[in-house]
């Protein structure tokens, strides 16, 4: 008889997160912040002494989302901060790899996202209009990352991610930080947004 395959991961908090059937009670923000602070965007192919982490990216997306939607409810800003939260256990795959892996990656991401949202008081699935707005902020973030730290020209970035409005990127310069600093900033921003719900 074949031994069942283990589908859970032990978190630093001591929680066991079942990746096939995640539940909100097994999700802690400290685990998310820690994991995202150590997951590199762009497969680590960025300039600087530290990897540009998914946690840093998430903070930037939430800020850009706030610029794009200044009247947005706090819960949607929280959704923007958590838009890549599942990557704390499944990692960050660049778009070409996601396309090669196929729909199973998307299904896993959706299950984890729903559990994370429920854990922090958001609906399991956010409205399509809000999701679309967060995706626009994500593309602006990708443009900034591509031009500032990932070696893309402005012309390439405009072609792949769209040319952002100047007011959305005004004053946004990426600074790579050690994971411990990014983890702290992510956790603090999460706490601030939760207080505003």
Whole-number pLDDT of residue 175: 87
pLDDT of residue 93: 80
Give me the average pLDDT of each 10-residue run along the chain (197 residues): 85 94 97 98 95 98 98 98 96 80 85 97 98 98 98 98 97 96 98 97
- Cβ atoms < 10 Å from Cβ of 43: 13
Place of tokens 């090669």: 100
Residue ranges of the domains in the chain?
Answer: 25-196
Predicted model pTM: 0.95
In whole angstroms, give the CA distance from residue 82 to residue 88: 10
CB atoms within 10 A of CB 127: 11
DSSP per residue, the chain = -PPPPP-EEE-TTS-EEESSS--GGG--HHHHHHHHHHSBGGGG--SSSS--BHHHHHHHHHHHHHHH-TT--HHHHHHHHTTTTTHHHH----HHHHHHH-HHHHHHHHHHHHHHHHHTTS-SS--HHHHHHHHHHHHHHHHHHHHHTS---HHHHHHHH-PPPHHHHTT-------HHHHHHHHHHHHHHHHHT-
C-alpha to C-alpha distance for 73 and 59, rounded to whole angstroms: 17
What is the pLDDT at residue 97? 78
Find all residues with CB under 8 Å of 153, minimum gap 6, and list them. 147
- pLDDT the model gives residue 99: 80
Right CATH for 25-196 from 3.40.640.10, 3.40.50.1980, 1.10.3210.10, 1.20.1050.10: 1.10.3210.10
What pLDDT, on a 0 to 100 scale, did the predictor assign at position 1?
Answer: 77
Buried b (16+ CB within 10 A) or exposed e, 129-161: ebeebbebbbbbbbbbbbbbbbebeeeebeeeb
């Amino acid at each position: 008889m074949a031994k069942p395959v283990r589908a859970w991961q032990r978190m630093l908090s001591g929680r066991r997160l079942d990746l096939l059937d995640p539940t909100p009670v097994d999700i802690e923000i400290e685990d998310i912040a820690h994991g995202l602070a150590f997951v590199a965007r762009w497969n680590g192919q960025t300039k600087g002494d530290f990897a540009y982490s998914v946690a840093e990216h998430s903070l930037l997306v939430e800020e850009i989302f706030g610029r794009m939607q200044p009247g947005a409810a706090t819960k949607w800003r929280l959704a923007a901060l958590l838009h890549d939260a599942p990557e704390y256990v499944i990692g960050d795959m660049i778009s070409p790899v996601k396309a090669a892996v196929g729909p199973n990656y998307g299904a896993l991401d959706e299950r984890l996202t729903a559990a994370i949202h429920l854990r922090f008081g958001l609906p399991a699935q956010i409205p399509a209009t809000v999701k679309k707005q967060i995706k626009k902020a994500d593309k602006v973030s990708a443009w900034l990352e591509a031009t500032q730290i990932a070696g893309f020209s402005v012309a390439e970035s405009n072609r792949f991610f769209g040319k952002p409005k100047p007011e959305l990127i005004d004053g946004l310069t990426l600074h790579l930080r050690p994971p411990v600093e990014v983890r702290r900033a992510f956790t603090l921003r999460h706490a601030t947004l939760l207080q505003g719900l």
